[in-house]
Amino acid sequence: MVGDSLSAEYGLRRGSGWVPMLAQRVSQQYPNYRVVNASISGDTTSGGLARLPALLRQHAPAVVVLELGSNDALRGLALDMTERNLRAMAQASRQAGASVLVVGMQIPPNYGRDYTQRFAQVFPAVAEQEKARLVPFLMEGIATNRAMFQADGIHPNEDAQPALLDNVWPVLEPMLAQPAAD
């Protein structure tokens, strides 16, 4: 798992995030696998790309989950760069023998219609181009429910974590059943 604060338990009790819940589910259903959470709060696709080669060497993963891009958008970075970085991470992961899961995000409309739409298109484009699996929107079903967010209105709270896992699991689970790179 290479992600940002959404996967790094930002503002949550340790062990209460969706990735530790995922790790528990994987250990119960697929005991030959372990989940490595290499997520860092505030990370961008550039940071993830810089860290990925060492992570691939260290862990030799069967599956790489890419949950990055939100901080690129929040900083107003060029989306062409975000897409290039995600593609490069997917390519490096596949070259290392891993299957890839891209986790999509969306941003609020206050970034402008064009930027907001283009951002949402980055993830399916990368998944299609790089033969990766796609979770279209990590926060599907909770994004408009303020009760599911911390006081900052950005980060999901503990109550939202099972829903995040439920958004990822139906796409990830078949990859664990057949982990060969696509």
pTM summary value: 0.96
Please name which of 154, 126, 107 lies closest in space to residue 66, comparing C-alpha atoms.
Answer: 126
Q: Which residues of the chain have pLDDT under 70?
A: 179-182
Tell me which of 16, 70, 152, 159 is the catalytic residue.
152
Check if 72 is active-site: no
pLDDT for the residue numbered 181: 46
| 182, part of any domain | no
pLDDT for the residue numbered 164: 99
pLDDT for the residue numbered 88: 99
Check if 70 is active-site: no
- DSSP class of residue 156 equals B
* CATH code: domain of residue 100: 3.40.50.1110
Give the Å distances, CA to CA, from 139 to 6, 52, 75, 104, 157.
10, 24, 20, 9, 12
Which residue range forms the structural domain that includes residue 104?
Answer: 2-177
Cβ-contact 48, 89 below 8 angstroms: yes
Tell me which of 41, 46, 59, 155 is the catalytic residue.
155
| Domains of the chain: total | 1
Check if 5 is active-site: yes
Tell me which of 4, 5, 39, 99 is the catalytic residue.
5
